[in-house]
Structure 1
Amino acid sequence: MLHVGRPTVPQLVDLSRPQPQAVTVYQPLEPHRTDGTDVAAAIREPLRLALHRLAGTGVPSSARRAIADHVEALGRTASEGHCVAVFACPERAEAFVLPDHLAAEWRAGDRFDLGPLVRAVSSPQTAYAVTVGEEDWGLWWASGTAPVQAVTSGTRENMASFAGGVRYRLGQLWRALTWSRAFLMTRRSYLSAVARTVRARLEPFDPDYSAPMVVFGPPPLGDQLAARLPWRATVSPHDPATLRTSDIGRTLRGYAEARVRRQLSEHLARISDESLPGLPSRDVDEVARAAQHGRVDLLVYDSTASLRDASGADVLARIAVDVLARGGEVLAMEPDELHRGALDGPLLAHLRADVPDEPDDTWPLTARPGRPA
Structure 2
Amino acid sequence: MLHVDIPSREEYSYLADVRSDACVSIYLQTSPLHQQLAASKIQFGNFIKEALQQVTDRGLDKRRIVLLEEELYSVLEDESFWDLHAHSLAVLVTPDSIRTYRLANQLPNRLDVGDRFYLKPLLRALTFPHSAYILALSENQTRLIEFFADAPAEEVTVPDMPARMRDAMGDAALNDHHHGAVHHKVRLAQYTRKIDQALRPVFARHDYPLILVSTEPLASIYRSTNSLSNLTEETLFSNAEHLGASELVTLVRPLMDNYYQAQLKALKSRFETRAGERRVTQDFSDAARAATFGAIDLLLINLDSTLNGTIDENGSITFSGNEDEAQYGLIDEIAKRAIATGARVLAVRSEDLPSGADLNAILRYPL
Scaled to the shorter chain, the TM-score interval is: 0.5 to 0.7
Change (3 A) 1:260 1:73: farther
Residue of structure 2 in register with 1:216 after alignment: 213
Residue of structure 1 in register with 2:70 after alignment: 65
Q: 2:98 aligns with which of 93, 98, 104?
A: 93
Map of 1:314-329 to 2, 5 A cutoff? 314-329=329-344
Q: 2:120 aligns with which of 115, 124, 143?
A: 115
Change (3 A) 1:223 1:297: closer
Q: Are the equivalent residues in 1 in contact too, given 2:30–2:40 (CA < 8 A)?
A: no
C-alpha separation in 2, matches of 1:208 and 1:244: 22
Residue of structure 1 in register with 2:154 after alignment: 152
Cα distance, 1:250 vs. partner? 0.9
CA offset digits 1:250-294 (Å, max 9, x no partner)? 1221112212221332234224423x5xxx443324432442233
CA offset digits 1:174-201 (Å, max 9, x no partner)? 99xx99369x99xx999979996x778x
> Which TM-score applies when normalising by structure 2?
0.65
Map of 1:11-22 to 2, 5 A cutoff? 11-22=12-23
Cα distance, 1:30 vs. partner? 4.5
C-alpha separation in 2, matches of 1:18 and 1:222: 51
- Give the SS at the match of 1:63: helix
Cα root mean square deviation, aligned:
4.9
Map of 1:4-15 to 2, 5 A cutoff? 4-9=5-10, 11-15=12-16
Change (3 A) 1:270 1:73: farther
CA offset digits 1:34-77 (Å, max 9, x no partner)? xxx8xx98963343222111222216344212333267679759
Q: 1:102 aligns with which of 100, 103, 106?
A: 106
Q: Are the equivalent residues in 1 in contact too, given 2:301–2:353 (CA < 8 A)?
A: no
- Give the SS at the match of 1:273: coil
Task: Give 5+ residue unaligned stretches, structure 1.
Answer: 356-373
Q: Are the equivalent residues in 2 in contact too, given 1:139–1:150 (CA < 8 A)?
A: no
Map of 1:184-203 to 2, 5 A cutoff? 203=203
C-alpha separation in 2, matches of 1:79 and 1:163: 31
Q: 1:253 aligns with which of 257, 280, 287?
A: 257
Residue of structure 1 in register with 2:145 after alignment: 139
Residue of structure 2 in register with 1:44 after alignment: 41
C-alpha separation in 2, matches of 1:83 and 1:351: 33
Map of 1:160-239 to 2, 5 A cutoff? 180=174, 203=203, 207-209=205-207, 211-219=208-216, 222=219, 230=228, 231-234=230-233, 235-239=235-239
Q: Does 1:269 align with 2:268?
A: no
- Give the SS at the match of 2:231: coil
Q: Which amino acid aligns with 1:291?
A: A
Change (3 A) 1:45 1:262: farther
- Give the SS at the match of 1:96: strand
CA offset digits 1:346-367 (Å, max 9, x no partner)? 2233567899xxxxxxxxxxxx
Cα distance, 1:91 vs. partner? 1.0
Cα distance, 1:115 vs. partner? 0.7
Report the number of matched residues. Answer: 318
Residue of structure 2 in register with 1:55 after alignment: 52
C-alpha separation in 2, matches of 1:306 and 1:74: 35
Cα distance, 1:126 vs. partner? 4.4
Change (3 A) 1:41 1:15: farther
Cα distance, 1:118 vs. partner? 1.7
C-alpha separation in 1, matches of 2:108 and 2:42: 11
Change (3 A) 1:45 1:80: closer
- Give the SS at the match of 1:207: coil
Change (3 A) 1:153 1:189: farther
C-alpha separation in 2, matches of 1:338 and 1:263: 9
C-alpha separation in 1, matches of 2:128 and 2:86: 17
Change (3 A) 1:207 1:77: farther
